[in-house]
Amino acid sequence: MTQKLLFLFIFSLLLGSSFTGSAQEKHGVKVVNDTAVYKERYGLRIGIDLSRPARGFLDKKYSGLELGADYRFNERFYPAIEIGYENFEYDENYFSAKSQGSYAKLGVNYNAYKNWIGLQNELYAGLRYGFSSFSEELHNFTIYDKDQYFPPDYREDSQKFSSLSGHWLELQLGIKAEIMHNVFLGLHVELKRLISSKNPDNFESLWIPGFNRHYDGSEFGIGWGYSISYLLPIYTKERKEVRK
Amino acid sequence: MKVIQRIFCTLLVLYALQSCQYNDICTAEVPTTPKLRIEFHDQQRPGLLKAAESFNVRALGDTAYYFSAPINDTTAAIPLRTDKKETAYELIFHQGDSLETKRDTLIFTYNTDEIFISRACGFKSIFTDFDVTYTPTSKGWIKNIQIPDTTKRITDDTKAALFIYF
């Protein structure tokens, strides 16, 4: 399922002429006296993650949505925010449960890519502080017994654990490519580290919205996203480059 | 272009790593639902352990014996039912050997507590208010029984929760 999405993204990247640089004309670059002048657009970019609705469509056990926004502060830095909600049913070996809640991530992206004049793509590294407020519900479980002498003890016992929370730090590495005027496609991966989490009584925070699966004995987590966003230009800044 | 290719490769690797999962298996060392550990003592000299020869157990109403072959040991661990508040066992002495087979019935009563272990293991039961009911018969071999733990709790099966004197 996720292979399809990745392939689709690579394909759309190849379609976009931005990386080949032949879009110079359509991005309004003026060449005057050996100096190329381009008005870089600065503004607020608003986007939506496509991987989550796609996963929700393909995976009956999952539903989720993430919206993101970033703002170009200067040439390299883009403060960013993401908010979302996730709802996940998980079936483990000896129990079934559900986790649902919302999350928010605040941070800043650093664009490491030196664009050719006329382009506004990004190859960025970002830092985020993420937090989630969620609840878990245990549906059923089977008592673990090494012995098989007696039949398995299966309990259908719905237990709700609310007011759970999780806080983490996240590193993002990603690409944003302008495929049409002011429209960007983005792909990124996330490396997360849980700082603190409020665990329920006699259970565990096993799946935290925004953080994903919380494994036994590890505070690290990973994730990824595939997004489409639109830039609302607010002002422009001139960028000059002298042609040699 | 080289930089982009390098970054893209890193992204692909990180994406591939996502499918790796920690080995979430409930390993044998993790304490789970404890069994009832029995220690056999000599009735004449109560401090001394005595091996119960050709010992086996069978849950009342069950046709299968717990041990596939009778054991000769000073200790035995048998499971308790977690779905009920009692387990009734028939304890057999000298099963299938040259001496006369003797049987005793013990009824164990308790309460259970369900405790979460981990994602891989799920939940275990521990036993509280543990008690035994025993009616001596002429066909029996057990002379006396004792619960050594005054808290009447069974949380693990490394130490004995029941002493049987014969």
Which among B32, B33, B52 is positioned nearest to B110, based on CA atoms?
B33
Report if residue B14 sits inside a domain: no
Top CATH class of A2-242 equals mainly beta
Neighbouring residues of B88: CB distance < 8 A, sequence distance ≥ 6 = B59, B60, B61, B105, B106, B107, B108
Dihedral angle, C-alpha A5, A8, A12, A13, nearest 10 °: 70
pLDDT of residue A41: 86
Q: What would the pLDDT profile of A97-127 be if each residue is shown by its tens digit?
A: 999 999 999 999 999 888 887 788 899 999 9
Of A6-15, A231-240, B64-73, the range with the highest mean pLDDT is: B64-73
Instruction: Say whether B22 and A153 touch across the interface (CB within 8 A).
Output: no
Whether the predicted pLDDT of A21 surpasses 80: no
- For A117-163, how does the pLDDT look when each residue is reduced to its tens digit (9 = 90+)? 778 889 999 999 999 999 999 999 999 988 889 999 999 989 999 99
Residues of chain B with pLDDT under 50: 19
Count up the domains in chain B and report the number: 1
Query: Using a CB-CB distance cutoff of 8 angstroms, which residues of chain B are in contact with residue A201?
Result: none
Domain range enclosing B34 = 26-165
**Boundaries of every domain in chain A:** 2-242
Of B21, B114, B122, the CB nearest to A92: B122
Q: What pLDDT is recorded for position A34?
A: 72
pLDDT of the residue at A144: 93
* Residue type (1 letter), A55: R
> What pLDDT is recorded for position B46?
82
B121: chain A residues, CB-CB within 8 Å? 94, 144
ipTM of the complex, rounded to two decimals: 0.81
How far apart (Å, rounded) are the C-alpha atoms in residues A121 and A126? 15
Inside any domain, residue B17: no
Asked whether residue B11 is assigned to any structural domain, the reply reads no
Query: pLDDT band for position A241 (50/70/90)?
Result: confident
**Does B9 map to a domain?**
no
Beta strands A220-242; A35-49: pairing state: antiparallel
Q: Find which of A145, A220, A222 to mutate to test the B interface (most B CBs within 10 Å of its CB).
A: A145
Residue A16 has pLDDT above 50, yes or no: no
Q: What is the pLDDT of residue A77?
A: 93
Q: How far is A45 from chain B (nearest CA, A)?
A: 23
